[in-house]
Amino acid sequence: MDLSLTLRILPAVFMVLIQYACGNFVFNVTHKFAGKDKQLSELKSHDSFRHARMLANIDLPLGGDSRADSIGLYFTKIKLGSPPKDYHVQVDTGSDILWVNCAPCSKCPVKTDLGIPLRLYDSKASSTWNKVGCEDDFCAFISQSDTCEPKTKPCSYHVVYGDGSTSDGDFVKDNITLDQVTGNLRTAPLSQQVVFGCGSNQSGQLGQTDSALDGIMGFGQANTSVISQLAAAGNVKRIFSHCLDNVNGGGIFAVGEVESPVVKTTPLVPNQVHYNVILKAIDVDGEPLDLPPSIASFGGNGGTIIDSGTTLAYLPQDLYNSLLKQITTRTPVKLHMVQETFACFSFTSNTDKAFPVVNLHFEDSLKLTVYPHDYLFSLREDMYCFGWQSGGMTTQDGSDVILLGDLVLSNKLVVYDLDNEVIGWADHNCSSSIKVKDGSGAAYSVEADNLIQSASSVIKGTFVPLLSILIWVFLSFTSQFC
């Protein structure tokens, strides 16, 4: 992917109107490439039961890690259809729909190096499947027009990612079955009909054997996302959180209000497609760096974006240069470039003791501390590389953009509260547990998972710090096929 590609932030075209909802669910999430080495060039009584159900939490199993040296995207396992069948999908906060590979599909991946089974969704095998036609309100919403004709045709979608990968297919409606939290470390299945994409044609890295999954699950803010659909049905609040473990892989992914640990928050910039926040300052162990004016003031459409679908952290060129200069001034090392984008150096001592922390300060006094073991990764035993990248990304009006991915989000509980339009985080052991609270006030523990822990021994190979499927995403829906 060309990292100098101008980032074009789409205008906020989705107005989300969600009734007050109150559910919590848990997703077991795994980092997509936990334990996998790859080449640099490749780079989650009746009344009381009903109350708990209406105010539920969801637990999603996680797989993967965010380490650049074993590479990092996270994925989860969901169930679709009746009877429910398992699908492994990438977790992405930078896009807004769920889609899975569907039968028949001649260009969909049939195997993966991740040690997990792949499956094509087959509508004919599900008793609860329904088509989504041009006459459906969902289709009218995404197409933003009334030109989908004839009304009897299916509602089609076309997704384009920043690296040129695409997914095409039709929207369908079927049951999604998730793990509802019913007690401490206990879950029970909860099913609801949702609309999702049935992909019949994938291109680019979406079909590559080494990184293939069954699809992508978007956790963006639009009401096309699964969390918004669950909230509209009254099952959940539009609050989700993740804790990405880049030490052991996997982590925690939950839908619902977090009671502990306590998380401080910063406002989300309103009317943005992505999770934009206001970065006020950056310092290297207390020594401040100069920020581009558009970053600090959010002039135009610039600013800072939080995105779990991105592995590394991308800074404007001048800021990137200043950051590396400040770090290497404190700890002198001789840098050389690997694969043209990674600044690397030889080092045999303890990096956490030798290198400074980097602090990012956001509106409302929220601080994010990035430790050396977060921003450095080991290319081999005596060589380290910086995960900071010179992104060169700007908006259409020329404003600079900072994109913060798993590099800075790992080993922290990150909470996205869409109801209150805030995001926040706290340092946390992502191999432990968190407590989520339902509408009745009951709080239950949700523990960490690693979907591919048992398969890690077979996931070997070369090193990839950059999985570009979701390194930067823009999503476009079209109705031209209707």
DSSP states of 318-384 as a string? HHHHHHHHHHHHHS----EEETTTEEEEE--S-HHHHS--EEEEETTTEEEEE-HHHHEEEEETTEE
- List the catalytic residues: 92, 307
DSSP states of 181-212 as a string? EEETTEEEEEEEEEEEEEEEEEEGGGG-TTT-
Give dist(CA 464, CA 454) in Å, integer: 21
Give dist(CA 338, CA 322) in Å, integer: 20
Rg (CA), the chain: 21
Q: Which of 403, 343, 464, 406 is nearest to 5 (CA)?
A: 403
27 CB contacts (<8 Å, ≥6 apart)?
A: 44, 58, 59, 60, 61, 62, 76, 78, 91, 178, 179, 253, 254, 255
Give dist(CA 175, CA 230) in Å, integer: 11
* Residues 257 and 412 sit within 8 Å (Cβ to Cβ): no
Identify the three-state secondary structure at position 52.
helix
Give dist(CA 417, CA 238) in Å, integer: 6
